[in-house]
């Protein structure tokens, strides 16, 4: 029974974090002057039946510099679980992968997301 309650609490935290991430990314894309040209969300990982264990939520943002259309970037954010706590993994084509244990967006997480988005324009 305890495992079920942990899973329910994790599901609530993950859903809230998912919404918070998407709102932040959409706002920062506008602020950075970058265009989103594609993307979406999907379930990744090893999905076990009747549990969220192993079910990673993945979000991809395909971005483009409107001034230089050849400057494109793919940013991916995954919400995983570690001992029923949300674990974010964030990376881009030009950014190192980094993981954070958190159930809300911290300044460190926001900084990593902004860095990945900014690489669309700087390309470095």
Local structure of residue 78 (DSSP, 8 states): E
pLDDT for residue 48: 58
* C-beta separation of 85 from 47 below 8 A: no
Residue 1: pLDDT band (50, 70, 90) is low
Coil/strand/helix, residue 108: helix
pLDDT for residue 120: 81
> At residue 98, does pLDDT exceed 60?
yes
- pTM of the predicted model as reported, rounded to 2 decimal places: 0.86
pLDDT for residue 2: 64
> At residue 51, does pLDDT exceed 80?
no
pLDDT for residue 3: 65
Local structure of residue 48 (DSSP, 8 states): P
pLDDT for residue 39: 82
Coil/strand/helix, residue 97: strand
Mean pLDDT of the residues in the chain:
87
Q: How many domains does the chain have?
A: 1
Question: Domain of 29?
Answer: 2-122
The sheet with strand 72-82 has its strands ordered as 35-44, 56-64, 72-82, 85-92, 95-101
Distance CA 85, CA 101 (A): 7
């Amino acid at each position: 029974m305890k495992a079920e309650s942990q899973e329910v609490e994790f599901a609530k935290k993950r859903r809230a974090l998912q919404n918070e991430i998407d709102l932040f990314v959409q706002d920062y894309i506008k602020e950075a002057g970058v265009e989103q040209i594609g993307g979406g969300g999907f379930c990744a990982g090893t999905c076990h039946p009747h549990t969220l264990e192993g079910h990673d939520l993945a979000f991809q943002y395909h971005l483009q510099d409107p001034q230089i259309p050849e400057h494109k970037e793919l940013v991916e954010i995954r919400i995983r679980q570690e001992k029923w706590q949300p674990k974010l993994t964030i990376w881009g084509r030009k950014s190192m992968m980094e993981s954070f244990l958190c159930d809300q967006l911290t300044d460190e997480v926001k900084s990593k997301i902004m860095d990945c988005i900014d690489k669309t324009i700087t390309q470095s």
